[in-house]
Amino acid sequence: MTMRQTILVAGATGSIGNAAAVAMAKRGARVVLLGRRAEKLSSRADSIRDALTDAGVEHEVTDISTLVIDFSDMDSVRAAAEEALNRFPAIDGLVLSVGAFIQGGPNVLPSGHEVMFATNVMGPFLFTNLLLERMQQSDGLVLHVIAPFHEDLDWDDLESLENHRPMKAFNRTKECNRVIAGELARRYAGRISSVAFDPTFVLDKSDPELKDRWPSGFSGFVWRLMAIFRAKPPEVAGEPLAELMLTHRDRGSINGALFVLDERSDKRDAAMNDEAEGERLWDRLELLTGPSPR
C-alpha cells in the first residue's frame, strides 16, 4: 500500500482517535477527523498541523481535514457519508474509535434508541456500510477500536433499555463492535479487510472532560485503581494503530484478526468468530439502519 493514503478517523476528538490521527499524519497519510463538534475538530486539526511542523514533517493544510458527524443521529450519519463520498475520490481506511460513555440512563433519543447504542453501534455500522463500495476500490481497511472487557449480548434487551447499568451497557456496545468486526470480515472478504484493535486501558489524564465520563459506584472505584496501576497514555495505542493502518501491503492477510496494541492475537476471539451471532447482529442492525450494499 502507498503511504499516501486517505484515512477517516471516527472519534478523532477522543484520546485514542486523536493520537492515531497524529501518528498517521506523521507517517504521511491524509487524515480526515470525524466528530460531532466543528469547533473542537478545527482545534484538533490545528494541533495536529502544529505537531507536524514541530516534527519537521512537510505537509499541506489540506492534508488534515474535518468532517462533522453525529453518530447518534442516522440522518447526520447519512449526510456525512454523502459528503465524504463527494469530497474523497479514494477512501483507503476507516478507523472507528467511537466510544461514548454516558452516566445514568437509560438515555433515550427522540428516535427511541438508547444513546450509547446508537452512537457506538448503529451510527458506525451505517457509516461503514455507506462507504463500503468506495472502499472496495482501494482495498480498504476498517479498524474497529474495541474495549478490553467483554459483555454478553442480551437479545431481548440489546440496547440496555430495561436493565440499564451504564458500564455494562457501554461494554455491551463495544462487544457489538467485536461481533461486527468479525462479520464484516466474513461478508466482504477479498473486497475489503476488517480488524479489531484492543488499545488496552488508555486514559488521557490531562483531558479536562475526563471527570464527566468517569463511571460511578463500584465501576468508578475499579477505574480509579486501573488509572493508577494500569492506564497508558494515548500515544501507546496511537502508534501501533497507525502502523497497522498504513504498513500492511497485503491487507487480506490480516482480515478478521484481533490486535492487542502491536501484537496479533494468537487466540480466536469468541465474539468475532461467532458466525451465528454475527449474522444475527448484522441483520438486526440492518433493520434499524437500512440494508447494506451487496
The C-alpha atoms of residue 139 and residue 145 are separated, in whole angstroms, by 20
pLDDT digits (tens, 9 = 90+) for 168-213: 999 999 999 999 999 999 999 999 999 999 998 766 555 555 566 5
What pLDDT band is residue 234 in, cutting at 50, 70 and 90?
confident
Percent of the chain at pLDDT > 70 equals 88
Contact 141, 93 (CB under 8 A): yes
Give the lowest-confidence range in 3-12, 23-32, 81-90. Answer: 3-12
Q: Which three cell numbers stand for residue 76?
A: 447526520
The C-alpha atoms of residue 215 and residue 221 are separated, in whole angstroms, by 8
Give the lowest-confidence range in 8-12, 119-123, 133-137, 261-265. Answer: 261-265
| Long-range pairs of 226-231 with CB within 8 A, sequence gap ≥ 24 | 226/201, 227/203, 230/200, 230/201, 231/201, 231/202, 231/203, 231/205
Contact 230, 203 (CB under 8 A): no
Look at residue 222 in the predicted model and tell me its pLDDT. Answer: 62
Provide the pairing of β-strand 263-264 with 258-260. Answer: antiparallel
Number of residues that make up the chain: 294
Residue 282 has pLDDT above 70, yes or no: yes
The C-alpha atoms of residue 150 and residue 172 are separated, in whole angstroms, by 7
Percent of the chain at pLDDT > 90 equals 78
User: Residue 86: exposed, middle, or buried by beta-carbon count in 10 A (0-12, 13-18, 19+)?
Assistant: exposed
- 3-state SS record for 215-241: CCHHHHHHHHHHHHHCCECHHHHHHHH
pLDDT digits (tens, 9 = 90+) for 79-116: 999 999 999 999 999 999 999 999 898 999 999 999 99
Q: Which sign, positive or negative, has the C-alpha torsion 183, 285, 80, 130? A: positive
Contact 195, 143 (CB under 8 A): yes
Arithmetic mean of pLDDT, 30-57: 96
The C-alpha atoms of residue 257 and residue 268 are separated, in whole angstroms, by 9
The C-alpha atoms of residue 23 and residue 25 are separated, in whole angstroms, by 6
Arithmetic mean of pLDDT, 133-148: 96
Beta-carbon contacts of 263 under 8 Å, excluding residues fewer than 6 positions away, are none
The C-alpha atoms of residue 199 and residue 107 are separated, in whole angstroms, by 27
Q: Which three cell numbers stand for residue 32?
A: 480526515
Give the lowest-confidence range in 94-98, 216-220, 279-283. Answer: 216-220
Contact 17, 45 (CB under 8 A): no
Look at residue 2 in the predicted model and tell me its pLDDT. Answer: 44
More confident residue, 244 or 231: 244
**CA dist 138 to 6, 8, 51, 99, 126, Å?**
10, 14, 28, 27, 20
Look at residue 41 in the predicted model and tell me its pLDDT. Answer: 97
Look at residue 206 in the predicted model and tell me its pLDDT. Answer: 57
Domains belonging to the chain, first-starting first, are 6-289 (3.40.50.720)
Q: φ, ψ for residue 68 (rounded to 5)?
A: -80, 130
